[in-house]
Structure 1
């Protein structure tokens, strides 16, 4: 059996843990640079605030309906997510972290367990230890556990947040209830094609000829159909090293001077290097991106990238930052107001297994230096040590005018009990 554990309105729930005054009130969380709504509490949904609403258009609407609008606080959300996932690992060793707020669990050897009670134990422990409300869907396959989770979330009072599909009768009833476009794994393209086949509910999709689905659509669609039929074809995904690592961000303001852009590129490159070292990889290639503000149609536009091939693989922040900064200097165009930049490292190889070069190699002092920097930054859970060409005050320069404290990741923001 599989379980899908999903945190309810995760970003809003994190804020409510530390500010109980937000409970039972409409809350909306904004994207980077306070752009648009990316998370809403149930109360905000019921009022009619749409997902993705640009806040500059909906600000007055939020004020009229007393919707609390908050800047996204990613350090807080990431830390709370880590706490939830660690709790889930106590219930089974087989876990796949699917996103920041949901995870699949596999129950091997749990034949004698009463899974509805076990699901409630999971839900209650997470709520007690973190304050985050969750819903749990349990079923014989991953796709059906997604369906069960949606039922638990939709009918919260009847299910108490936990629903188990453990019989053929429950499976058929659930699929006849589930709209086709709400099925996990069915995107707009596939939904359009299946609608032409006469499919309205998830159950209709399972009644199509399996060989026809495999030949006409794809092996992925066939696997999804088999999963919905109760035949496990999608196992838990193992954590794999990434084949490329990217850090791209929009600036809080448009920049037209090279010095500010060089500082941002250095920060992005350093972040990529840290991620490389974390997965014990090195890169052969760096791609630097620079974009103007596409929304400012009256201004001259400029979209450009530069690829740098390294003479040897590296994960040194010093080397990657230097190469990225040199690259952005060659593509920067004076007079353009840039809004977004990014660094991508690719051509990844294991850091201790790559082809050596007879004539060029990395400074041997870099490796122990990077190790020392990573250890210090990990110990103090912040970027305590940075390169000299980085902004020492902030990692990401984003517009966050409604930001809440970092309650769990910054010692100065810890709640004081009086």
Structure 2
């Protein structure tokens, strides 16, 4: 059996844990730089606040409907997510963290368990220990557990937040209720193609012939179909190293001076290098992007990118930052107001197993230096050690005018009980 545990309105729920006054109130969470709405509570959804709404256009609407608008507090959300996932590992060792707010679980050797009771125990413990409400869906396959979770989320009173598909009758009923566009793994394009074939529900999809599905689509869609039929073909995913790592951000303001842009690029490049070292990889190529604000059409626009091929793979912040800064200097255009930039590292290879260059190599002092920097930054839970080309006061310069305290990750923001 497989389970899917999904946190309800996760970002909003994290805010409510430490601010009970938000219980039952409509909440909207904004993207980086307080740009647009990326998460809504059920109360905000009921008021028809659209996903992705630019807040500068919907500010008056939010005030009129008393919607609490907050900046993204990723340190808080990430920490609360880790706590939820740690609790789930107490119920089974086989856990696949699928996203920040949901995980797949596999129950091997649980044949004699009452899964409805087991799911309720998970919900109760997570709610008691973290304050985060969750829904649990359990079924014979991953795809069906996703369907079961949607049923639990849609009908909380009837299911009490836990739904188990443990019979053929329940499976068929759930699939007939699920629209084809809401099936896990079915995107818009695939949904349209299936609708042309007459598939309006997940059950309709399972009635197609295996041969036709494999010939028309691919092995991935065939596996999904078998999973929905109750034959497990999709197992828990193994964590894999990324093939490319990117750090791209919008600036809090538009920049037309090169110094500020160089500082941002250096910070982005350092972030990429840290991620490389964390997964034990080095890169062969660095790509730098720079673009103006496309929303301000009355201003002159400019978008450019440049790639740098390295003669040897590296994960040194010094080398990657230096290459990235030199690149942005060459693509920078005077008089343009830039709003966004990014650094991408690709051509990744294992740091401990790659082809050496006969005439060129990285400075041997870089690796022990990087290890020391990473160790100190990990120890003090903050980027205390930075390059001289970075802003020494801040890591990201983002507009976060509605940011709540980092209750669980910053000792200065810890709740004081009087």
| TM-score for the superposition, normalised by structure 1 | 0.99
State the match for 1:230 in structure 2: 230
Could you tell which deviates more after superposition, 77-86 or 258-267?
77-86
CA distance in 1, matches of 2:129, 2:380: 24
CA distance in 2, matches of 1:214, 1:354: 38
CA distance in 2, matches of 1:410, 1:392: 18
* Counterpart mapping for 1:47-86 below 5 A: 47-86=47-86
CA distance in 2, matches of 1:265, 1:329: 10
CA distance in 1, matches of 2:388, 2:408: 28
CA distance in 1, matches of 2:396, 2:64: 32
CA distance in 2, matches of 1:416, 1:368: 41
CA distance in 2, matches of 1:231, 1:258: 58
Aligned to 1:364, the other structure's residue is in SS state: coil
Could you tell which deviates more after superposition, 253-262 or 209-218?
209-218
State the match for 1:9 in structure 2: 9
State the match for 1:99 in structure 2: 99
State the match for 2:400 in structure 1: 400
State the match for 1:267 in structure 2: 267
State the match for 1:410 in structure 2: 410
- Per the TM alignment, residue 359 of structure 1 is displaced from its structure 2 partner at its CA by 2.1
State the match for 1:307 in structure 2: 307
Runs of 4 or more off by more than 4 Å in structure 1?
none
* Counterpart mapping for 1:299-338 below 5 A: 299-338=299-338
CA distance in 1, matches of 2:49, 2:240: 38
State the match for 2:136 in structure 1: 136
Aligned to 1:138, the other structure's residue is in SS state: strand
- Per the TM alignment, residue 217 of structure 1 is displaced from its structure 2 partner at its CA by 2.0
State the match for 1:89 in structure 2: 89
- Per the TM alignment, residue 393 of structure 1 is displaced from its structure 2 partner at its CA by 1.7
Could you tell which deviates more after superposition, 183-192 or 213-222?
213-222
Aligned to 1:398, the other structure's residue is in SS state: coil
| TM-score for the superposition, normalised by structure 2 | 0.99
Aligned to 1:313, the other structure's residue is in SS state: strand
CA distance in 2, matches of 1:32, 1:266: 19
State the match for 1:43 in structure 2: 43
CA distance in 1, matches of 2:142, 2:38: 26
- Per the TM alignment, residue 311 of structure 1 is displaced from its structure 2 partner at its CA by 2.0
Confirm or deny that 1:23 pairs with 2:12: no
State the match for 2:349 in structure 1: 349
- Per the TM alignment, residue 370 of structure 1 is displaced from its structure 2 partner at its CA by 0.8
Confirm or deny that 1:292 pairs with 2:292: yes
CA distance in 1, matches of 2:158, 2:379: 45
- Per the TM alignment, residue 72 of structure 1 is displaced from its structure 2 partner at its CA by 0.6
State the match for 1:377 in structure 2: 377
1:74-127 CA distance string (max 9 Å, x none): 111111111111111111111111111001000011101111111111111111
Aligned to 1:184, the other structure's residue is in SS state: coil
CA distance in 2, matches of 1:184, 1:358: 49
CA distance in 2, matches of 1:162, 1:44: 24
State the match for 2:159 in structure 1: 159
Confirm or deny that 1:253 pairs with 2:248: no
CA distance in 2, matches of 1:362, 1:128: 51
CA distance in 2, matches of 1:244, 1:178: 35
- Per the TM alignment, residue 208 of structure 1 is displaced from its structure 2 partner at its CA by 1.2
CA distance in 2, matches of 1:281, 1:181: 37
Structure 1 portions without partners, runs of 5+: none
Aligned to 1:300, the other structure's residue is in SS state: coil
State the match for 1:280 in structure 2: 280
What is the RMSD of the two structures over their aligned residues, measured on CA atoms?
A: 0.9
- Per the TM alignment, residue 140 of structure 1 is displaced from its structure 2 partner at its CA by 0.5
Aligned to 1:135, the other structure's residue is in SS state: strand
Structure 2 portions without partners, runs of 5+: none
CA distance in 2, matches of 1:221, 1:361: 46
Could you tell which deviates more after superposition, 393-402 or 138-147?
393-402
CA distance in 1, matches of 2:411, 2:317: 27
State the match for 1:192 in structure 2: 192
CA distance in 1, matches of 2:249, 2:226: 40
- Per the TM alignment, residue 301 of structure 1 is displaced from its structure 2 partner at its CA by 1.2
- Per the TM alignment, residue 136 of structure 1 is displaced from its structure 2 partner at its CA by 0.4
1:31-81 CA distance string (max 9 Å, x none): 111111111111111122111111111111111111100011111111111
Aligned to 1:121, the other structure's residue is in SS state: helix
- Per the TM alignment, residue 255 of structure 1 is displaced from its structure 2 partner at its CA by 0.6
- Per the TM alignment, residue 397 of structure 1 is displaced from its structure 2 partner at its CA by 1.1
- Per the TM alignment, residue 205 of structure 1 is displaced from its structure 2 partner at its CA by 1.0
- Per the TM alignment, residue 218 of structure 1 is displaced from its structure 2 partner at its CA by 2.1
Aligned to 2:348, the other structure's residue is in SS state: strand
CA distance in 2, matches of 1:52, 1:85: 27
